[in-house]
Structure 1
């Protein structure tokens, strides 16, 4: 089974499985295809965290494909440039592109097919073309003037003939196809050994022609960004050569008869575990999914868990993250006492182990101030998006399961590197330009990403790989899917289709850090009585379109059956299997 946010990526993954590839082969091929067909949501210059269940090893592992900040990137340096907040676009907020290394690590540890078999579908889609999504065309309309006036290399790539390509027309990125073709040539020149080819491809990317092109572009160009000024790139070929993905055990929580696996606190993944720990103190089986009490409890636990994210999460190599205390029963019980019948309007991080929380100095911002093309955008109150992320889930016939959330390197995030056909991630916008915070900008540190794939076991057996795009909302929507299945008695597709919501109470992880205390954005399919009850509890309810919240997908093992489901919102997600 393969489920993803684009029908072509799911089809690519399924074709790999049918050729005898593993779930790792299929996920990687789908991931490379997503870079081509959803370029406004991810790209080769982006990042990806991956959760893998190995049926052979009977364990889950996390592949951390989040790149790090350049060695030249310091708070003092950016302060000297007159900046108080990291720009949301441009070259200055670039970090090492980690997606390629993560996908190759997945292939080397769990794959079977050759790199050529994995990359050829993406090369074909880039060289021969694919139907341009309406959302890509719309995104290009918003950044057309930026490209034309300030980012000419992006205009050259994305505005053929100087015009925005129309939806559903054939779109090609021949330069990107040439980049991946050259990578294959250098890989195959290393000999017939699969491992040798993967090593050679990794070398070509992180120490060869790709790294050199990125380093030269950053050294010799400045780019207009959201600060309103042109700024240089700090990323160098040496930064890229010094990085490699890490493989680690997932963070886990036992919830009833389920084991939920998430990434470490270098991402926001543990917030789902904190929310589940809080919710374990309530009888959710007695509540109706979508009721006012259901939405209220989930929202209030979100506020507490995400407040802890703001105060405590960051790259564990640079800051102490007291995750054991944050998930401890005593701490959780004390935090649960803060949940009342009325909506909280405060940001309330806790004091795990008696530590004193420290929050950033948040700027004043609102949704109306966000420039076009900025950030990792989540769903606005209108139901429209400002960009996003991708997701893919796979299970193969042997039982290997994968959940991966590729993102970054959006076509609108930074100028396209002309020799490569892609741009760099602007993930460093998630750092704070304030010293002494868990997520302060530091040379070599990973920004605290919002990318958060999910995996769960049921009764000790692998059960569900799932996830969604959506920035800060990813763990909100993924949690709702999980609870719909566990407590709502829904099947996989029903759990995805159910009316969804997200809170904007906690400041955004992305430029310009907007927040709306007590606000919940809800799909229009919720009952009016539910909306009225939530408003009476003090929630600031914003009603969006009927089908506007999240782009969840999932694959599952249910007894002897494999199952998959994809999101109907946007008529783009696709689940396939046999």
Structure 2
């Protein structure tokens, strides 16, 4: 908000927010992570996507991982690392859409890193889950996150001076000349200068303990860093009544949201109670079909010919829609498209998902078993939506580089990400590991037009749940007439029917986790229809935020769950 009040636009504000979130929520994102951005530029009057999902390094081959005795990419450590994409993404957005200089968008983050910020409750809780890992194996992380040898307490003032020094050095080496020249020098300092050199040395020399229980050296190199840049591309979209919904392409899971809308277009949702069993059942069953197609068809479109038009077509979805009956499906049923798709690996979990153990796994923060009996993830990443006075819009879901992803690189004060765990070590799979290929990310910000005009930016953290909670909010808003806050606050749910995107990639057929605020009659009827219902906490589902524009009036709403979401404006 400070950036906007100083005359910056939504893109300047997004950069500043993103860098600050790396500091104050290190359990949810970091400089070594990745990010998709979807935006509307009021000058060009068109939506665009900035892809900050770094690809697999040149040395990340299926043969290499198999030679190490692995059948999955580990969920933590250096083998799970893709090329970090966040920094270059924010510099590209600042250069092409913003108005401010590098210092303007970095100074708040540097201030918090050097002078301190009060810890939210989930940061110490996350550190506690990996405390022994830090003490016994990741000692560089212990040096930062166990100050004085202890797990910090909520509210403690916490600093990361080394990360502050990293960004201060970037400024020293880039400043001078025009705004654009500064930004280009900053990009080069990151991808070819001291940052890339430190990452290269660390990955070449350190054998890091990971979730497999053994030590592995990384494959990311300085050459990988030097040869990659964030790219600007067109979004994909689907028309749903008055609305056109935009998503990043199939290197994300965004198409799964659009497929759900295409399937649900055949039902009259206007007449349904959003807390009733029919509404929940139809959306759950549509999600099962869409995510089955995700497993079979989605991958980096530079490497995989994903049949997007067919997957969104009326004919294809009319056939798929016939599979939705009054009974819950227990099967993973991808569609059939000639010459397309791959084998689906539906690993079945032997029981309930469990909390993160001493070695860490998957998405970063997992609720304790007593509070979240389903093992429901809490947090996972960050999300923001911004609209400015000129009508520019930005929606982004920065993630990765979590404090529990891999050890802190001592010279830099941050760790690398673990997004490569989303690849499969199967050459026939559309999401197979290939050097230079982007993993099929769960990160999926959203934009929508209404009646041909830019209208809504929204999204959520939550891994595989993102494109379940995102359409739920949208459908409540569109069909039940709920405002944004009501659409976020309404009781929510998710299914775990399909294989998860994170290690160990298991599925729980038929499982639906609902907030306890649902009526007992709804829960009972869903069970009668065959859903494997688990009831979570009353405010345990979704991390949504949204901002909308109607004429000259701006509105926003934020998730009350976890008390970390905010909607502000003036």
Give the structure-1-normalised TM-score: 0.95
1:39-50 map, 5 Å: 39-50=26-37
Aligned to 1:463: 455
The residue aligned with 2:70 is 83
Matched, 1:192 2:184: no
What displacement does 1:363 show?
6.5
CA-to-aligned-CA distance 1:400-456 (integer Å, 9 cap, x gap):
000000000000000000011000001111111112111111111111100000000
Q: Deviations over 1:2-45 (max 9, x none)?
A: xxxxxxxxxxxx00000000100001100111101110000000
Do the aligned residues in 1 keep the contact of 2:397 with 2:444 (CA within 8 Å)?
yes
Structure 1 CA distance, aligned partners of 2:130 and 2:247?
35
The residue that corresponds to 1:159 in the other structure is 146
Q: Distance in 1 between the 2:15 and 2:354 partners?
A: 37
Deviation at 1:383, TM superposition (A): 6.7
Q: Is residue 2:532 matched to residue 1:540?
A: yes
What's the CA shift for 1:288? 1.2
In the TM superposition, residue 157 of structure 1 has moved relative to its aligned partner by 1.1
- 1:362 is displaced (CA, Å) by 3.2
8 Å contact from structure 2 (residues 346, 507) kept in 1: no
- Aligned pair 1:228/2:220, yes or no? no
8 Å Cα contact 2:73-2:420 kept in structure 1: yes
Cα deviation, 1:135-186, whole Å, max 9, x if unaligned, reads 0000101111000100011011111111111111100001100000111111
> Is 1:392 the equivalent of 2:384?
yes
8 Å CA contact 1:350–1:357 kept in 2: the answer is no
Query: Residue 460 and residue 145 in structure 1: after superposition, are their counterparts in 2 closer, same or farther (change >3 A)?
Result: same
2:189 corresponds to which residue? 204
Indicate how the Cα distance of structure 1 residues 290 and 474 shifts in structure 2: closer, same or farther if over 3 A, else same: same
1:329 positional shift: 1.1
| Alpha-carbon distance in structure 2 between the residues aligned to 1:116 and 1:356 | 46
**139-148 or 345-354: which moved more?**
345-354
- Whether the aligned pair in 2 keeps the contact of 1:383 and 1:549 (CA below 8 Å) is no
Asked if the contact 1:41–1:388 (Cα under 8 Å) also holds between the matched residues in 2, the reply is: yes
Could you tell me how far apart the structure 2 residues matched to 1:386 and 1:71 are? 33
Give the superposition deviation at 1:385: 3.1
Query: CA 1:574–1:369 in 2, change beyond 3 Å: closer, same or farther?
Result: closer
Match of 2:361 among 374, 399, 420: 374
Where does residue 179 of structure 1 map in the other structure? Answer: 166
Equivalents in 2 of 1:278, 1:381: separation in Å? 31
Kept in 1: contact 2:48–2:233 (CA 8 A): yes
Conserved in 1, the CA contact under 8 Å of 2:296 and 2:341?
Answer: no
User: Residue in 2 aligned with 1:512?
Assistant: 504
Task: State the match for 2:301 in structure 1.
Answer: 316
1:406 maps to 2:398? yes
Which structure 2 residue ranges, 5 or more long, are not aligned? none
Matches within 5 A, 1:467-482: 467-482=459-474
For 1:386 and 1:357, how far apart are their aligned partners in 2? 31
- Matching residue of 1:444: 436
2:546 aligned residue: 554
Normalised TM-score (structure 2): 0.97
Distance 1:280 1:62, change over 3 A: same
Following the alignment from structure 1 to structure 2, what is the Cα–Cα distance between the partners of residues 353 and 249? 26
Contact kept in structure 2, 1:53 and 1:462, CA below 8 Å: yes
In 1, the alpha carbon distance for the partners of 2:338 and 2:308 equals 10
Give the alignment partner of residue 59 of structure 1, picking from 46, 53, 58.
46
Q: Does the Cα contact within 8 Å between 1:139 and 1:387 map onto a contact in 2?
A: no
Q: Does 1:429 align with 2:421?
A: yes
Q: Tell me if structure 2 keeps the 8 A contact 1:382–1:545.
A: no
Q: Hey, what's the Cα distance between the residues in 1 that align with 2:340 and 2:394?
A: 36
CA contact (8 A) 2:129 2:356 kept: no
Q: Name 1:20's counterpart in structure 2.
A: 7
* Pairwise CA distance, 1:358: 2.0
Between the aligned partners of 1:222 and 1:19, the Cα distance in structure 2 is 46
- Asked if the contact 2:86–2:398 (Cα under 8 Å) also holds between the matched residues in 1, the reply is yes
Distance 1:300 1:363 in 2: 18
Q: In structure 2, which of residues 21, 26, 30 is the aligned counterpart of residue 34 of structure 1?
A: 21
Q: Give, in angstroms, the shift of residue 246 of structure 1.
A: 1.2
Question: Residue 109 and residue 143 in structure 1: after superposition, are their counterparts in 2 closer, same or farther (change >3 A)?
Answer: same
CA 1:343 to 1:466, structure 2 compared with 1: closer, same or farther past 3 Å? same
Structure 2: distance between partners of 1:292 and 1:436 = 38
Q: Please give the alpha-carbon distance, in whole angstroms, between the structure 2 residues aligned to 1:33 and 1:123.
A: 8
RMSD over aligned CA atoms reads: 1.4
Aligned mates of 1:383, 1:363 — CA distance in 2: 16
Judge conservation of contact 1:63–1:248 (CA < 8 Å) in 2: yes
Change (3 A) 1:136 1:393: same
Q: Tell me the CA shift for residue 502 of structure 1.
A: 0.4
Aligned with 2:79: secondary structure? coil
**Structure 1 residue 371: Cα displacement:** 3.3
| Partner SS state of residue 414, structure 1 | coil
Return the match for 2:133 from 143, 146, 167.
146
Contact 1:383 1:544 in 2 (8 A): no
Q: Which residue of 1 aligns with 2:409?
A: 417
Pick closer, same or farther for the CA change 1:241–1:417 going to 2, 3 Å: same
Structure 1 residue 278 and structure 2 residue 263: aligned? yes
CA distance in 2, matches of 1:121, 1:375: 30
**Gap change, CA 1:376 and 1:369, over 3 Å in 2:** closer
Q: What are the superposed Cα offsets for residues 277-320 of structure 1, whole Å, 9 maximum, x if unpaired?
A: 00101111111112100000000000000000000001111122
Aligned to 2:273: 288
User: Which residue is equivalent to 1:502?
Assistant: 494
Match of 1:132 in 2: 119
Contact 2:363 2:377 in 1 (8 A): no
